[in-house]
Amino acid sequence: MSDKPEKFIDENGLRLDGRQVDEMRPMKMELGVISRADGSCYLEWGKNKVMAAVYGPRELHPRRMQKADSVLIRYRYNMAAFSVEDRIRPGPNRRSIEISKVSREAFEPVVLTHLYPGAVIDVFAEVLQADAGTRTAAINAASMALADAGIPMKGLVAACAVGKVDGQLVLDLNKAEDNFGDADFPMTFTQDGEVSLVQMDGNFTQEEFKQAVEMCKEGCQKILGMQQEALRNKFAGELSTDEVDVELIEEDVVEAESDDVDEGAAEPEEVDEDVEESQDDVEDDSMIKADEPEFEEDEPEDEPESEEDEPEEETA
Ligand code: ADP
């Protein structure tokens, strides 16, 4: 670990990495990077590199862990062994378990959990390169991965931290500020402006605390703007008509319409009622299925549960 710098902020008010006190490190994100996940996001924030992947909603096993009236959100924050200078021992530790817990809770106010009773949504946040602020980077990436997975949410979640160095509040701590500074204060805000995570390491005066909340809020608003833009770019791209020749489509439509009129006028009696009915059925079914989690089709609710799933009931 490098030594504590003599000064964190120079005479021009700039930090060691040249930023203003209220300036964030550059952030970029890319959606849909893991094809097997339902949603994913790769995010870089300064030197932090984080990958978030979302799987679900899917059936939760063992069944005794299912929540009868809501989906279970599981969140796993993990730092790769190679993400820091000295290798980290693989597997969960006290820090990663704590970060996973508070990060999961940060999403509870936004995810519409009642829509998928009995199901689970797994969120994996893997830190590939760490440089302070990895829990907030992971939350920002996870928020995007959840949106990419199409999980119904009231809005996105954004996270950033404020700290204190040389007696001044600074937004989005770098590694030296995090290691040697006087405070580290990560927060998350929902799109509605609700606070869903606050942690605090170090000391603030009451006035500093108020200022820090405002700084975090502004930082999160900027991040929300970037997240929304990334989502618009991805989904607007998918819906884009740029490469479609609109004139040709219009010609086809006119042709098809005139064909329909001719055929329909000539042979209306050829419409097969059975076929029409079965098509209606298919449409009705697909509309119902679209609102239900896929796994419910496989196992109707009234099917008896297997013995393996509920060992407690057997012995009770
Ligand atoms: P955050 O990354 O959310 O700021 P911390 O404040 O706990 O969380 O950690 C600050 C930074 O310290 C991390 O981003 C990482 O660069 C480094 N760090 C954390 N844990 C370890 C570890 N076990 N070994 C080496 N470096 C670590």
Task: Examine the pLDDT at 271 and tell me if it is beyond 70.
Answer: no
* HSE-CB for 166 with a 13 A CA cutoff: 15
Task: Examine the pLDDT at 290 and tell me if it is beyond 50.
Answer: no
Task: Examine the pLDDT at 130 and tell me if it is beyond 70.
Answer: yes
Q: Which of 28-32, 47-51, 199-203, 287-291 has the lowest mean pLDDT?
A: 287-291
Quote the DSSP letter at residue 272. -
Cα 211 to middle of ligand 1, angstroms: 25
**Ligand 1 atom with the shortest distance to the CA of 138:** 3
Is 54 contained in some domain?
Answer: yes
Cβ of 133 less than 6 Å from ligand 1? yes
User: Which residue, among 58, 75, 77, has the nearest Cα to 66 in the 3D structure?
Assistant: 58
Domain count across the chain: 1
81: tokens are 């062994």
Q: What confidence score (pLDDT) does residue 285 get? A: 36
Cβ-based neighbour number of residue 10 at 10 Å: 11
Span 269-297, mean pLDDT? 39
Is 191 contained in some domain?
Answer: yes
Cβ-based neighbour number of residue 159 at 10 Å: 26
Quote the DSSP letter at residue 310. -
**Average pLDDT for the chain:** 83
CA 167 to chain centre: 34
Cβ of 16 less than 6 Å from ligand 1? no
Cα 187 to middle of ligand 1, angstroms: 16
Work out the percent of the chain whose per-residue pLDDT is above 90: 72
Cβ of 80 less than 6 Å from ligand 1? no
CATH code of residue 175: 3.30.230.70
- Please give the helix or strand (H or E) that residue 158 lies within, else none: strand 157-165
Cα 96 to middle of ligand 1, angstroms: 10
Cβ of 88 less than 6 Å from ligand 1? yes
Q: What confidence score (pLDDT) does residue 261 get? A: 43
Cβ of 83 less than 6 Å from ligand 1? no
Cα 53 to middle of ligand 1, angstroms: 21
101: tokens are 């817990």
Residue-range definition of the domain harbouring residue 201: 27-239
Work out the percent of the chain whose per-residue pLDDT is above 70: 75
Is 245 contained in some domain?
Answer: no
Is 63 contained in some domain?
Answer: yes
Task: Examine the pLDDT at 315 and tell me if it is beyond 60.
Answer: no
Is 1 contained in some domain?
Answer: no
Is 308 contained in some domain?
Answer: no
Is 111 contained in some domain?
Answer: yes
Q: Which residues pair with 75 in a beta bridge?
A: 123
Alpha-carbon distance 281 to 287, whole Å? 10
Cβ of 273 less than 6 Å from ligand 1? no
* HSE-CB for 236 with a 13 A CA cutoff: 7
Task: Examine the pLDDT at 268 and tell me if it is beyond 60.
Answer: no
Q: What confidence score (pLDDT) does residue 301 get? A: 44
**Ligand 1 atom with the shortest distance to the CA of 99:** 3
SS3 track for 53-111: EEEEEEECCCHHHCCCCCCEEEEEEEECCCCCCCCCCCCCCHHHHHHHHHHHHHHCCCE
Cα 8 to middle of ligand 1, angstroms: 19
pTM of the model: 0.78
pLDDT tens-digit map of 12-45: 999 999 999 999 999 999 999 999 999 999 999 9
pLDDT tens-digit map of 57-70: 999 999 999 999 99
Cα 174 to middle of ligand 1, angstroms: 11
Q: Would you say 81 and 125 are in contact if contact means Cβ atoms under 8 Å apart?
A: no
Is 221 contained in some domain?
Answer: yes
Ligand 1, atom 12, residue with closest C-alpha: 132
